Chains A and B, each alone.
Chain A
């Protein structure tokens, strides 16, 4: 685990928009939620958004499914800010967009009837992504002129997985073949400007396994190639670090002092029969093997040249309490 930074000052001070991606199964939704809590604990008003219709945030915070509407999911006590959350879907974003910019109240409905909304949000390439990121852009650019709209100090976007992230964020290029001019193109341009600016950081979640680490490296290269600002790498589900190198080596090579182990176990008030000791040694062996693999992968992550953060594996799964613990860990490590 990297040494905790001396001052737990946030590593990304100028960043307002934190985009979190990661390979499927690495826990990017959990990390997004923990990051939102961490940011709020520093007094920020935070918006946490999801765009894939999975309702992952609602499950993590144990609240009913989120609508296309900002709902408060966590309320900070003294000095801390609140976390709001919303599920952004392309259909609602399109209708809102039309209403805001074109005041198409009735025509909007007609569009829906003619299948235009479905077309634009599911078939027209890139349009869906512009709509989703466009809503995030809108939330990031509120000011006092917007009547009654809530201003956010920080926005955390639980984004699509690493394999699709560059395409998702690179709305400009995606649309380029389709719309060279026109309003949708201008919309894409302003969104792109925010995404490429120093107000944005894209974090990648990984676990210490070969494929996710490789995909993280590829993702970083792709993001950089597209001129998108890479933030940090969050290594999730790190195995406990109780056993030291010598102990792990002994477990791997089967050279553990069995008698000493039995004596220790007796001391712990555990009657150490052969079955138990064999079982523990086997678990220890698996663990040591796993740690070896993790160390190899960790070395690769460190070579990626971005700040890294580590979050522990939660054996019982991540419930609300676990989520708060992860948020605390992120704070201590300086992210959020």
Chain B
């Protein structure tokens, strides 16, 4: 694992990475179909901040891959109810199930599953410890609390599950592509840090401190030690400390295994078989998160496939400017006659142009500082997506970024 400073907020104040002057090369388009058809890619991880359409994007990618002949499993975290229903994954049971209605061509298939983080954690414990010991751990109040609500457990378990699915896929050949949706973290980076955070905790001084008394007079019995245990007892109470000690003592032998697994997951994410797709919306926060993520992936040498910007407003046709439209509205208003429809349409037109202009500015800012990130831009749809047809539509839009059709057909279908 790459050594890193504590995952503190201050670590985000990193220097900008990328070219320092604008280049005027045409921006690269993300060739989604080439990515999905590339048999050497076995894992696609979708990440980005909350509310940008990550779950929908990963489901659409998975469906498109399946219908192009891949054997796909998609791991979702928290899909919208109707989308989950239409994919047949209402039950949160950690079991991949075939999605009904997939038109898998050439052996393609799609399974979907929803992550149950507690169960995943339990399974890891059970696979690492003897039955008696596992039971002891699973019953510990401290473990129960950590496994169900530790900020970061979900991220960690998503990565753990990815590792398991990958192993399963390699063994059985049931899947040749795993698409992973990442948890809706506060920050897009949380999910990369979670495994490390947990393993550094398990490995950390604090754990050693808790174990120290059980191991007799250790070197840790310094002046600071008594002070620290006293303070902990004062703050959290003796009972909690007792539970924690019992947990740590039982968990001690599992540390090695946990660290190993975290390390393997990290390596898997760095492997060329993996591709990251960063998802964003044309909003300042979402694009800022995307930029952090892109730079972080680079720093960790993790393979970045590209950026998907969802819900982009499309430019209206015609060359009427926002200013001209609003001047027209003003003129109609002073005319004293009823021109409601025309005025309304002109105002909509002006608003739309303003939105388009703003989104363009925001995405251009990203593109200028990260010119080599292939990008796919998806237009905002006027309706919600909650079935396979909706996912197919998104998939078509994703696939249509790079035009592979012969020029003549392209002209026929334009517009």
**A residues whose Cβ falls under 8 Å from a Cβ of B:** 23-26, 52-54, 56, 59, 89, 91, 98, 102, 104, 106-108, 110-111, 113-116, 118-120, 122-128, 160-161, 163, 167, 174, 177-185, 209-211, 214, 240, 242-244, 247, 250, 256, 260-261, 264-265, 267-270, 273, 275-276, 278-284, 286-287, 289-290, 293, 313, 315-317
A264 touching B145, Cβ below 8 Å:
no
Q: Mark B231-258, 1 if CB is under 8 A from A, else 0.
A: 1101111111001000000000000000
A247 touching B341, Cβ below 8 Å:
yes
B145 touching A25, Cβ below 8 Å:
no
B37 to chain A, nearest CB (A): 30
Which B residues touch A26, using CB under 8 A? 51
> How many inter-chain contacts with C-beta < 8 Å in the A-B complex?
244
Interface size classification for chain B: 35 or more
A242 touching B348, Cβ below 8 Å:
yes
Which A residues touch B78, using CB under 8 A? 163
Closest 5 CB pairs of A and B: A182-B237, A25-B51, A24-B50, A24-B51, A268-B328
Sample of 17 more A-B contacts, CB < 8 Å, known A98-B231, A177-B144: A24-B50, A24-B184, A114-B209, A115-B206, A125-B148, A125-B149, A125-B150, A174-B145, A181-B237, A182-B236, A247-B344, A267-B331, A268-B329, A270-B324, A286-B382, A316-B354, A317-B358
Task: Knowing A113-B224, A161-B50, A177-B145 are in contact, say whether A265-B186 is a contact too (CB < 8 A).
Answer: no
B186 touching A52, Cβ below 8 Å:
yes
A289 touching B149, Cβ below 8 Å:
no
A274 to chain B, nearest CB (A): 10
Task: Knowing A123-B146, A179-B236, A247-B340 are in contact, say whether A268-B382 is a contact too (CB < 8 A).
Answer: no
Which A residues touch B339, using CB under 8 A? 264, 267-268
Q: Does B172 contact A (CB under 8 A)?
A: no
Complex Cα distance A289/B237, Å? 59
Residue of A nearest to B353 (CB): A315
B328 touching A270, Cβ below 8 Å:
yes
Residue of A nearest to B230 (CB): A107
Which A residues touch B347, using CB under 8 A? 240, 242
Complex Cα distance A265/B283, Å? 33
Residue from the set B141, B149, B335, B345 with the largest chain A CB neighbour count within 10 Å = B345
Q: Does B49 contact A (CB under 8 A)?
A: yes
- Within 359-386 of B, Cβ neighbours of A (below 8 Å) are at 382-384, 386
Task: Knowing A182-B240, A316-B358 are in contact, say whether A283-B352 is a contact too (CB < 8 A).
Answer: yes
A315 touching B354, Cβ below 8 Å:
yes
Query: A-side binding surface: helix, strand, loop or mixed?
Result: helix
B149 touching A110, Cβ below 8 Å:
no
Complex Cα distance A266/B236, Å? 75
A210 to chain B, nearest CB (A): 4
Which B residues touch A256, using CB under 8 A? 341
Complex Cα distance A126/B150, Å? 7
A122 in complex: contacting residue of B152, B186, B243, B345, CB < 8 Å = B152
B284 in complex: contacting residue of A52, A290, A317, CB < 8 Å = A317
A179 touching B239, Cβ below 8 Å:
yes
Which B residues touch A104, using CB under 8 A? 231
Q: Does B197 contact A (CB under 8 A)?
A: yes
Complex Cα distance A7/B167, Å? 65
9 A–B contact pairs at CB < 8 A? A25-B283, A26-B51, A54-B285, A110-B231, A178-B141, A183-B236, A184-B235, A210-B384, A284-B345
B348 touching A293, Cβ below 8 Å:
no
Q: Does B228 contact A (CB under 8 A)?
A: yes
B237 touching A183, Cβ below 8 Å:
yes
Which A residues touch B318, using CB under 8 A? 273, 275-276, 279-280
Residue of B nearest to A87 (CB): B9
Which A residues touch B344, using CB under 8 A? 242-243, 247, 284
Complex Cα distance A313/B352, Å? 11
